[in-house]
Amino acid sequence: MDAASARTHDGHDPRLHRHQIGQPRVDDTRLTAQYRYGQPRVDACECHSGVPCQDAACGIVRGMSKRVIFVCRGNICRSPMAERIAQRFFADAGLDVEVTSAGITDEEHANPMDPRARAVLNRRGYDVRPHTAHQISAEEIRRADLVVAAEPYQVQTMVRMAPSTRNIVLLRDYDPSVTPGTPLDDPWFGDESGFETIADQIEAAMPGLVAAIRK
């Protein structure tokens, strides 16, 4: 099956593109208010004083560099765009954050960023250095302070991969202007204008994400 054919079938329940009814949105002012798909929001511990938390499921350390991973389907469009945009926002905010990205699948393994994504980032003045796609691992999820997914089904997949974690969130839940559970849709099927829309939506979520990381 070629790449285009593979991407025309998600292989997941379309009902998972929305949070369950009654699911609270991520509180973008508290990094300890973590989202887990299909479950009530779970608060991580409040012991973050610059030393590692004793709760292995928490992993957040106050006063130290944080790790944030953006995740989409293949790691060639949305997540690398979010990675480069977030790097700029975190740096401008004076935050020490290690930002990376990954895909839920390995279908784009070792591929570069989509040229349409690269062109949009370049026009907006973001970093467009070479990118190599890879699939996220359970270990990466556990080691991150925050794993930020493009779509709800990706959240569910990662919770299954690392069920003890409390660090998996949905990107657009940091944008107060949209309905909780709104996905960052895949622009791969369209033209470059769709990537401009995605960049706008990522940028709209950044102030909330910066506020959460700053806490």
Considering the chain, what percentage of its residues have pLDDT values greater than 70?
70
Give the pLDDT score at 215.
Answer: 85
State yes or no: is 47 an active-site residue: no
Residue ranges per domain, the chain?
A: 49-214
Q: What is the pTM of this model?
A: 0.74
- Catalytic: which of 27, 28, 72, 166? 72
| Mean pLDDT to the nearest integer, 6-35 | 33
Q: Is 186 a catalytic residue?
A: yes
168-170: strand order across its sheet: 97-103, 66-72, 146-149, 168-170
Helices (H), the chain: 3-6, 78-92, 115-123, 138-143, 152-161, 192-214
Does the domain at 49-214 match CATH 3.40.50.2300? Answer given as yes
The owner of tokens 């949009």 is: 120
* Chain mean pLDDT for the chain: 79
Catalytic residue among 27, 114, 175, 186: 186
Q: Which of 25, 67, 78, 116 is catalytic?
A: 78
Tell me whether strands 97-103 and 66-72 are parallel, antiparallel or unpaired. parallel
pLDDT value at 212 more than 90: yes
pLDDT score, position 64: 67
Q: Which whole number is the average pLDDT over 171-199?
A: 97
